[in-house]
Structure 1
Amino acid sequence: MSAVEVRGVTRRFGDVVALDDVSLEVGPGELVGMLGPNGAGKSTLLSLVSGQRKPDTGVVRLDGRDPRDARTRTVLGLTPQETGLPATLRVREVVDFVGGHYPDPVPTGELLEQFGLADLGKRQTGSLSGGQKRRLAVAMSLVGRPSVVLLDEPTTGLDVSGRTALWDAIREYHAGGGTVLLTSHYLEEVQALAERVVVIDHGKVLADDSLEEVLSRVGVRRVQLTDAAGARQEHLVPDSDAFVRDLVTSGTEFRDLEIRGASLEEAFGQLVNHEAPEGALR
C-alpha cells in the first residue's frame, strides 16, 4: 500500500489551474523532495494530501484512505509554510495540546530536547524568534509519531546551524522508517536529504525520478581549470571529453583540471525553463 497516492488530480482556484491531472505515488519509508517555483502547485498538492482541501477531479489517498477523514490523519504529521501559534500559550503547552490528539505521543521534554527547545518550554510562543517558531512547528509535526510527514518549506528563515539541526531530525525520523514528502526553495536541502526528486511547475509534474536520474537529465558538464596566468576558469560544456581533448591538442597550458556533473540547481533550472508547457499559468 502506498503511503501517499495522488491519481489524476486537478484543482482549480477560479480560472487558475493549480494542479493539472497530477499523479504521484510515495511508498512507505521514502523521502521525496518536491521542487518548483512559487505558484507551481506544491503547497496545493500538500493541502490535498493533508485533507485540508479536496480535488476537483481525481483521487487522493493517505495510507490507503481518504485524508479528509479525521481518523486517517492520525498517521500524519504536517508543517505548513506558515504556522499560526497562539501567542500567549507556552511552548510546552502547545506541544502538549498537539500531542494530546495522538494515542502515543513523544514525551514533550524529549521532543523539545531533540529540537533544541528545552530551555524555551516556559516561554510564550509569541516571544519566540522566527527560527525558534520554525523549529517548534517541525517538532509538532513529529509529536504524534506519524508514519507520514509533510513538510512545506520546513527550514525557511533558519540560519545554517538551525537548518542543519532540522536536517538531522528529518534524517533520524526517516531512518526509523518514516515517510517524508517535503517542499523546499533550498535546492541544496533537497539534494542533501531526498532520495527521489519531483519537479513541478504550472501544476504539472515535469520530472519524477531518483536524484541521480534528475541530475543526469541536464546535458552539460562543469569543467574548471587554472590557466597559465593562474586564473581559475569555468566552462559549461555538453561534452567534457571532447573539450579536454581539444584543450590538450591546442597546446594550451592548464592545471588543476576538475570535471563534475550538474548541480540540482542546474537540473531544476533546465527542467523548468525547457519543459514547461506553453501558455500554462504560473
Structure 2
Amino acid sequence: MTVLARAIEATRQYGDVLALDRVSLDIRAGELVGLLGPNGAGKSTLINLFAGLRRPTSGVVELFGGSPLDPAIRRGIGVTPQETGLPESFRVGEIVDFVSAHFPEPVGRAELLARFGLSDLVKRQIGGLSGGQRRRLAVALAFAGRPRLVFLDEPTTGLDVEARRALWDGIKAFHEDGGTVLLTSHYLEEIEALAQRVVVVGNGRVLVDDTVPAVRGMVSARRVSLVAEDLPELPGVLGSERADGRIDLVTTDPDRLVVELVRSRVPFSGLEIRPATLEEAFLAITSKESANV
C-alpha cells in the first residue's frame, strides 16, 4: 500500500526532554491506526511532526512523499489537536464555511454537520456550546477539506458515551470511504472499536506495532477474577479492582499468583482466568518498558 506519512529515525528534543527517540513509522493508505501510550510518551509530538507543526531535531519525516512543512502538501490532511480554540462569536455554520473556504473541494456544510451529529447546532454561537459539542465540532472540521489523511489527538475527550459513539460512526464512515486515520486515545476500548493496527509508544520509542489481537496475544497479561473478603499482597499484580463482590487482578504470571494465593490460606471462591483485553496488554507492555528504563 502507498505510504502517506513516514518517520525515519525521527528524534525530537525540547531542551533536555527527549520526546521522541529515533522513531521509525509508516502510515499507509487506507489504514486506521491507533496510537497508544501514557502521558509524555510522545504521541502528540509525533502527530505534530507529521502535521508540520514541529520539525524533528534529527531524522526524517515525510508527508505524501514531500515535506510536512510545505503548505500545499499539508492541504491533504486534517488535524484535531488535543487543545483547540475556536472563535466564540462565530456560529457553527460560519466556522464550517470559514474552514471549508481554504480547500478546493470541501465537504458540503450540511453533509459534514450531519456526519458528526451537529446539524441542529448550525446557528448556535460557539461560545454557547458545551465542551462536548465544541469537541465534536473540532473533530468535524478536520474532515472539512476531504483530506486523504486525518490526525486525531484524543478526539473524544470530554464526550459522553452517546456522543462518543456518534463520533466513532463519523470516523468509521470516512475510513470505509477509503480515508486514512491516525488517532490517539486514552479510551482503550475506542482503539479496539476503531483501529485495525495498534502502535504502542513509551519513553519516546515505538514499543509495539501490530494488530489489536496480536497486541493482546504478545503479552502474558491475564485477568484473574475471584470472590474474597480481602487479599494479601500478591506477586506480579499490574492492577486490581473490586466490583459486585468480585476482585479482579491483572497479572503477567497467573500460575504464580494462584499458587501464592493458595499458600496464603485466604478463603476465596469463583476463580476465573481469562485472556487480556487490549487495556490489560497495554498495561503489561508499558509496565515492562518502565521496569527496563
Q: What's the TM-score, normalizing by structure 1?
A: 0.87
Displacement after TM superposition at 1:259 (Å) = 4.9
1:218 is displaced (CA, Å) by: 2.0
Please report how far the alpha carbon of residue 220 of structure 1 lies from its aligned counterpart in structure 2 after TM superposition: 3.3
Report if the CA contact (8 A) 1:48-1:54 is conserved: yes
Superposition deviation, residue 223 in structure 1: 4.9
2:85 maps to 1:84: yes
Aligned to 2:153: 152
1:123-159 CA distances to partner (integer Å, 9 max, x unpaired)? Answer: 1111111000011011100111111000000000000
Taking the aligned partners of 1:191 and 1:258, their CA distance within structure 2 comes to: 23
Find the aligned partners of 1:118 and 1:184 in 2 and give their Cα distance. 26
CA deviations on 1:248-276 (whole Å, 9 max, x unpaired) are: xxxxx987x86531011111111111124
Equivalent-residue separation in structure 1 for 2:13 and 2:73 (angstroms): 25
Q: Show the 5 A alignment for 1:110-259.
A: 110-224=111-225, 238=253, 259=273
Contact in 2 for aligned 1:2/1:27 (Cα 8 Å): yes
Helix, strand or coil at the partner of 2:93: helix
> What letter corresponds to residue 155 of structure 1 in structure 2?
T
Residue equivalent to 1:69: 70
- Which shifted more, 214-223 or 171-180? 214-223
Map Cα deviations across residues 41-91 of structure 1 (whole Å, 9 max, x no partner).
110110000001110111111121111100101110110001110111111
Q: Which amino acid aligns with 2:166?
A: A
Q: Percent identity?
A: 55
CA positional deviation for 1:225: 6.7
Question: Any stretches of 5+ residues in structure 2 without a counterpart?
Answer: 229-244, 263-267
Q: Which amino acid aligns with 1:122?
A: K
Q: How far did residue 101 of structure 1 move? A: 1.1
Q: In 2, Cα distance between the equivalents of 1:68 and 1:125? A: 30
Aligned: 1:41 with 2:42:
yes
The answer to whether structure 1 residue 271 and structure 2 residue 272 are counterparts is no
Deviation, structure 1 residue 235: 6.2
Separation of aligned partners in 2, 1:232 and 1:202: 34
Do the aligned partners of 1:152 and 1:182 also contact (CA within 8 Å) in 2?
A: yes
TM-score normalised to the size of structure 2?
0.84
Contact 1:3 1:62 in 2 (8 A): yes
Local SS of the residue matching 1:142: coil
Aligned residue for 1:262?
276
> Aligned partners of 2:84, 2:249: CA distance in 1, in Å?
43
Q: How many positions carry a matched residue from both structures?
A: 269
Which runs of structure 1 show a deviation greater than 6 angstroms over 4 or more consecutive aligned residues? none
Instruction: Give 1:190 shift.
Output: 0.9
Alpha-carbon distance, 1:221 to partner: 3.0
